[in-house]
Structure 1
Amino acid sequence: MHPYRRNTRWLAGALLLAGGLISLPALAGDSDASPANISGKLLLTGGVSQIEGAAGGGLTPWAVIGGYGTQDQIGANAFYTRVNVQDYHLDDAGALVGIDNRVEFSVAQQRFNTEDVGAALGLGRGFTFRQNVVGVKVRLFGDAVLEQDSWVPQVSVGAQYKKNNQGAILHAIGAKSDHGIDYYVSATKLYLSQSVLVNATLRFTKANQIGILGFGGDRHDSYQAEFEGSLAYLLSRNWAVGAEYRQKPDNLGIAHENDWYDAFVAWAPTKNVSVTLAYAHLGNVVIKDNQRGLYASVQVGF
């Protein structure tokens, strides 16, 4: 099947999941159910869809539970993201479900297209690495929105299992495995009076380029603690701007790896739709340095 059609089918499935979840109250015959009373959070405070599927910023997860559900409610999102840099592009799609504002389950599929670099490496133009990600996040304590009279942030722990489909190639370049698990702890605090959201995440990972180039390598093959951070300013109830930073390990001798950062703007006209645009700097990716370009993402849900 043509890669574009496969991507379209994956996105359609994710959107169908979110649409089905949105219709659950109606199917259950709850005449009082509506987007207003099944969604208790403020616009944008549930985050957008992070590149590995969790709720947060584009690059890093936050402690918030995805969707707009609060206690005794369910929230869900589906997303599609495209990242275009000079020599590569990434298509990313997935969905998540948040339950009782306590637990979040997410899935995502990333397709990293090597464009002309694939031909230069002998893999063929447009050679694609595909990675599936399954995640879970649990809120331990705190409430980033409601507990404005406390300095304690919302704190969550999470894990993301990743499986790459190009094991033979990954081993050839020095990666130790085509699958791995990232573990993280995130702390998020929203200061409503200042319209500022701050997030810090500590990730324990072996992933090379978030797993697209496998896990572990000839330089390092042990878990390393990497810092990730986000800062957002709420311009209004519908608009937010901010920046993110993500440290990454440097495990492969063949491909030096840089930290990532971006500057973003997010718009949520309603609780059912949000759009994020960012300028992302990814540094060196395989044999190409200074990879930077546009990150665009659309999210639907409740």
Structure 2
Amino acid sequence: MKVRTAALLGLLTLPLAALAQTPPASSPSAPASGPVEMIPNPPRNLLRPDLGKLPLTGGFSDVDGAGGGGLVPWALITGHGTEDSYGFNGHITDVQLREFDLRAYGVGIGIADRVELSATRHELDVTGTALRGVEVSQDVFGVKVRLAGDAVYGQSSWLPQIALGAQFKRHGGIDNAGPLVNPTQLGALDDDGVDLYLAGTKVFLAQSLLVNVTLRHTKANQLGLLGFGGDENASGKLNVEATVGYLVTRKLAIGGEYRGKPDSLGADAEGDAWDLFVAWAPSRHVSVVAAYVNLGNILGPATGVNHDQTGSYLSVQFGY
């Protein structure tokens, strides 16, 4: 059997060796005798993303559904498709806090590594305090456009990848709270609103670092779950958000994030948020983000519970 296998391998390698020794048609020893026939490239399969991005460089789905980390949107466009293709994903996120449970789930698509569209549903359950059993929901529709730079391949330039984004947040109402049915009854000026942000992201490959800074103009109280604007701030604020991540391997990253919040509602006493995360991408189609998260004080004056809401963050994303 070993003799037959060796003989078969020898027969297979003979044509390859002969082909390697044969000069190409363009070689001086084999001049072309006629016009060169151009062989067209095979057509791309437009129904299947090309998966051309490096692992971890498509970002994850943040809590609002944008391509980013856990709390902060990045300038990266979601999905693994390059500028000649597209990418898409779906995500499920669960944030377990001391007296609250926030679930987020949605989908996103990145087109030509230039435009990102996303849709996410938020569902907040109050699991403690005097408001136990109250449920709040909202829908978030996002759009992001890459304006300049390349976070990964622009290593010779100081310019980060820069993107402009907007998130349209539509409140779904408050349930199981008796006569309280919308955020304006708590003092918010509007049930719905829009966040605008400008993000800059740079990956330093030699140092295995990802750095992101985002400027967000927002009126959102607690991500919009408690409406927009309030008695302490009617016009919104420009808040700073940031991410620093270290690429341990091609598939594993660790880091931290900070997200400022406007604190516009007197009944809320909103605090800033931060997290420490671990992100793992076992394959191009699956990624997991786990974090310790602190979302600050939530409804402290209204509930009498004035400590920060800390807990776990877990997000699973599936995509191409």
Pick the TM interval, shorter chain: 0.7 to 0.9
User: Contact 2:236–2:262 (CA<8 Å) still a contact in 1?
Assistant: no
Alignment of 1:1-302 (within 5 A): 38-117=50-129, 120-121=130-131, 125-166=132-173, 168-287=181-300, 288=305, 289-302=307-320
User: Contact 2:182–2:191 (CA<8 Å) still a contact in 1?
Assistant: no
For residue 179 of structure 1, report the CA deviation from its aligned partner.
0.1
Give the secondary structure class of the aligned counterpart of 2:170: strand
Please list every run of at least 4 consecutive aligned residues from structure 1 whose deviation after the TM superposition is greater than 3 angstroms: 30-35
Give the secondary structure class of the aligned counterpart of 1:199: strand
User: In structure 2, what residue type is equivalent to 1:296?
Assistant: L
For residue 32 of structure 1, report the CA deviation from its aligned partner.
6.4
Give the secondary structure class of the aligned counterpart of 2:128: helix
Structure-1 separation of matches of 2:202 and 2:133? 41
User: Contact 2:151–2:202 (CA<8 Å) still a contact in 1?
Assistant: yes
Structure-2 separation of matches of 1:33 and 1:108? 26
Give the secondary structure class of the aligned counterpart of 2:297: strand
Tell me, which stretches of 5 or more residues in structure 1 are unaligned?
1-29
Give the secondary structure class of the aligned counterpart of 1:193: helix
TM-score by structure 1 length? 0.86
TM-score by structure 2 length? 0.81
Structure-2 separation of matches of 1:43 and 1:268? 7
Q: Residue 18 of structure 1 aligns with which residue?
A: none
User: In structure 2, what residue type is equivalent to 1:157?
Assistant: L
- For the structure 1 residues 166 and 263, does the alpha-carbon distance in structure 2 shift closer, same or farther, using more than 3 Å as the test? same
User: In structure 1, what residue type is equivalent to 2:54?
Assistant: L
- For the structure 1 residues 31 and 187, does the alpha-carbon distance in structure 2 shift closer, same or farther, using more than 3 Å as the test? closer
Structure-2 separation of matches of 1:75 and 1:59? 21
User: In structure 2, what residue type is equivalent to 1:86?
Assistant: R
For residue 282 of structure 1, report the CA deviation from its aligned partner.
1.3
Tell me, which stretches of 5 or more residues in structure 2 are unaligned?
1-42, 175-180
For residue 290 of structure 1, report the CA deviation from its aligned partner.
1.6
- For the structure 1 residues 196 and 253, does the alpha-carbon distance in structure 2 shift closer, same or farther, using more than 3 Å as the test? same
For residue 146 of structure 1, report the CA deviation from its aligned partner.
1.0
- Which structure has more relative contact order (CA 8 Å, sep 6+)? It is 1
Give the secondary structure class of the aligned counterpart of 1:92: strand
